[in-house]
A and B are shown apart, each in its own frame.
Chain A
Amino acid sequence: MTRPISQTLEVPVAEGSDNERYSLRMGPQHPATHGVLRVDLELDGETILECKPQVGYLHRGFEKLAENRTFAQNLILTDRLDYIAAMANNVGYCVAVERLLGLEASMRAKYIRTIVGEMSRLASHLLWLATHALDIGAMTVFLYCFREREILLDLFEELCGARLTFSYPRIGGVRQDVSRSFIDELQRFLDLFPEKIDEYETLIDTNRIWLKRTVGVGKITGEEALGLGLTGACLRGSGVDYDLRKHQPYDAYDQVEFEVPIGSDGDIYARYRCRMEEMHQSVRIIQQCIDQLPPGPIVGENAPELLMPLKAKPLVKAETSRWGSRIITMIKDRSLYPAGDVYVATEAPKGELGFYFSSDGGSRPYRMHIRSPSFIHISALGVIARGELIADLIANIGSLDVVLGESDR
């Protein structure tokens, strides 16, 4: 049963109902809209007749901003897209710019980026599970997830000093090498984490109420999902095998073995199962990356000038010769950059995160467009939530896993 997309734009009429319709404006300040999402609802009782998500409350104009900043400087903007998993955005951006510039990161850097990318996937999925469960009313899962997420953030802090906005991956490599203690701590986390996933599952997975709230709710077929442009777990939950890590491998994903979990029902429960399984797979990927981590430089052969100098300079000197100035001078050299258009997508935790650059050969992108999965997933909300109840809308928002920072850019 597939609804054509055009039909979803029509205003439905309540059939055989003489009830008065009323509108409810949910958000932008609402406990369950994950930030500043506003949803305009037309209701008949608690049944949603029409659902219009409104975005833009967190618009910061990144795409325009990027046109006035060099490629290296734009990296920090990507931190602020999906701030739950900033590493994945950084990696996506770096992979895209490298493709534009025709660079190749070093093997070690690729592995490290794969590790941090998967770690941020775990961090993102943990936050998703926490808030999703909280939306449905299971409040303990929320704190359990944060307990593990805290370990991940501590690891990130050890790696690069930041807990939220990392800018750790760089064009052509990573900012600095991983330390032995980081690897040891990460290993400890990996040993511990699968048990914790089981713990969350014992709390909610076989819970009758959880099943009632999620099975068969928020259904979307594979065809519809493709039509709406869903990606990530939202698409895989509907039974479409599409994962860029597998189908267009970047970084070290072609060196490791993992499975892409596919659901079939396309309901909230299927998406939930997909993401839970993805967490297991992420652990697997990180484990393999740690085991195979090759020695060598952390910067690609033809890229060092784009990065911070490899040797740390004393602080006194740093004031007089700021490392930034060197980068900027290099970047102003137009000959470094080819002109042309490039679109590169990576598999961020939320879905396909794509960067489109149009370069005129200058040191700055002529145009940068971000294909953010959250934006597209929010647009699907109106289709999924129609005819369901308010409580399902909340479950759906959680299940689509949107972050407004990414959607509004």
Chain B
Amino acid sequence: MTILIMLVQIFILFCVVMLHVAYATYFERKIIGHMQVRLGPMRVGWHGLLQPIADGVKSFFKEDIIPENADRPSFLAAPIICLVAMMTSLAVLPFAKGWVLADINIGLLFIFAMSSLASYGVVLAGWASNSKFSFLGGMRSMAQVISYEIAMGLSLVGVMLMAGSLNLSEIVEAQGDSILGMYLVPQCLGFFVFFIAMLAETNRVPFDLPEAETELVSGYCTEYSGMRYAIFFMAEYIGMMVMASIGTICFLGGWHGPFAVPFFPPLWFILKIYLFMFLFIWIRATLPRYRYDQLMDLGWKLLIPLALANIVLTACVKALVG
């Protein structure tokens, strides 16, 4: 019986997240459209509201091309690895008090593990396509994820030290008595590093090098088409949402808000996620793209030292005060 309930919960979560992913693309196109003095999608439905559904249907019925020289098994597996790894992270996210599928003690580590796993999908896609543009995209992705994973992990160590736990629900609860009910103020350095690493981790502008369209055509997904291409997109958007959730949980006080919302406790959580999503999109509309070597410089020479300094600072303060 518990398994059945669990399955129902998983199904509901899956549906809700997929809907959010679909409308995150709409949200992005609309916002970027208005930032760029144009309208964005307007044709399908009222103000283009049905556009994501039309896109989904379209990509589902498109021809699925697999290049002849591609390594077939890994070519087929790559998008699935991406999507599964990203979706698995959703299991440990607490959307509100008690609204979590698996309340495990190593939640934060689990998410790191899964987002690293997702980059295997990208690397594999680049490798299996047997195209030079894809290959370069895959290589870039590998280098990028390795460097920024470190910075991101280190930036969250400060939060772990303050909360004394890796369990995401406990991290949220621990923030209750700090300023504004958030770790944003005491961990501002950590948040800064986390935010930049988050952009890099999700391959967003200004770190969208693996799929830099003006350089590598479309990077690792150049050879993909139809639904497989859409799966990469879904994985990217779920990745954005997972990263936004971690930011919300670790720095913005999770589901806590200025006042409690009856009937629908995750409201604040969702609003904060969409704040992050808006920032993602805003940055995409504004910034140019980094170069590959400059990205490495930024990661290793600025973010990692800053994150380490943050750890030392947090530990010292905690040892002195607490």
Q: Is A147 interfacial (CB 8 A cutoff)? A: yes
Interface segment out of the listed A247-255, A352-360, A390-398:
A390-398
Q: Is A285 interfacial (CB 8 A cutoff)? A: no
Q: Is B288 interfacial (CB 8 A cutoff)? A: yes
Q: Mark B170-210, 1 if CB is under 8 A from A, else 0.
A: 00000000000000000000000000000000000110110
Structural contact, A133 and B288, CB atoms closer than 8 A = yes
Query: B290 — which chain A residues lie within 8 A by C-beta?
Result: 209, 212-213
Which of B36, B38, B208 makes the CB contact (< 8 A) with A137? B208
Q: Is B214 interfacial (CB 8 A cutoff)? A: yes
Q: Is A136 interfacial (CB 8 A cutoff)? A: yes
* Complex: chain A residue closest to B216, CB-CB: A390
Structural contact, B35 and A140, CB atoms closer than 8 A = yes
Structural contact, A135 and B214, CB atoms closer than 8 A = yes
Which of B205, B212, B217, B286 makes the CB contact (< 8 A) with A203? B286
Q: Assess A209 versus B36: contact at CB under 8 Å? Given A136-B288, A137-B214, A137-B287.
A: no
Query: B37 — which chain A residues lie within 8 A by C-beta?
Result: 143-144, 147
C-alpha spacing A139/B208, complex, angstroms: 13
Query: B318 — which chain A residues lie within 8 A by C-beta?
Result: none
Q: Assess A137 versus B206: contact at CB under 8 Å? Given A31-B217, A213-B288, A391-B291.
A: yes
C-alpha spacing A133/B205, complex, angstroms: 14
Which of A30, A143, A204 makes the CB contact (< 8 A) with B288? A204
Structural contact, A31 and B214, CB atoms closer than 8 A = yes
C-alpha spacing A376/B35, complex, angstroms: 37
C-alpha spacing A134/B321, complex, angstroms: 50
Distance (whole angstroms) from the CB of A319 to the closest CB of chain B: 43
Query: A24 — which chain B residues lie within 8 A by C-beta?
Result: 132-133
Q: Assess A137 versus B285: contact at CB under 8 Å? Given A30-B217, A32-B214, A209-B206.
A: no
Which of A46, A134, A138, A144 makes the CB contact (< 8 A) with B287? A138
Which of A203, A209, A391 makes the CB contact (< 8 A) with B292? A391
- Chain A: interface residue total (CB-CB under 8 A): 30
* Complex: chain A residue closest to B214, CB-CB: A32
* Complex: chain A residue closest to B35, CB-CB: A140
Within 8 A of A (CB), among B257-285: 284-285
Which of B136, B209, B215 makes the CB contact (< 8 A) with A32? B215
Within 8 A of B (CB), among A10-65: 22, 24, 30-32, 46
Structural contact, B288 and A207, CB atoms closer than 8 A = yes
Q: Is A210 interfacial (CB 8 A cutoff)? A: yes
Q: Is A160 interfacial (CB 8 A cutoff)? A: no
C-alpha spacing A30/B216, complex, angstroms: 9
Distance (whole angstroms) from the CB of A272 to the closest CB of chain B: 12
Structural contact, A390 and B215, CB atoms closer than 8 A = yes
Which of A46, A147, A394 makes the CB contact (< 8 A) with B214? A394
Chain A: residues with CB nearer than 8 A to chain B?
22, 24, 30-32, 46, 133-140, 142-144, 147, 203-204, 207, 209-210, 212-213, 389-392, 394
Chain B: residues with CB nearer than 8 A to chain A?
32, 35-38, 132-133, 136, 205-206, 208-209, 212-217, 284-294
20 new A-B contacts at CB < 8 Å, known A140-B285, A140-B286: A22-B132, A24-B133, A30-B217, A31-B217, A32-B214, A32-B215, A137-B205, A137-B214, A140-B36, A142-B36, A203-B286, A207-B287, A209-B288, A212-B290, A389-B292, A389-B293, A390-B136, A390-B215, A391-B209, A391-B215
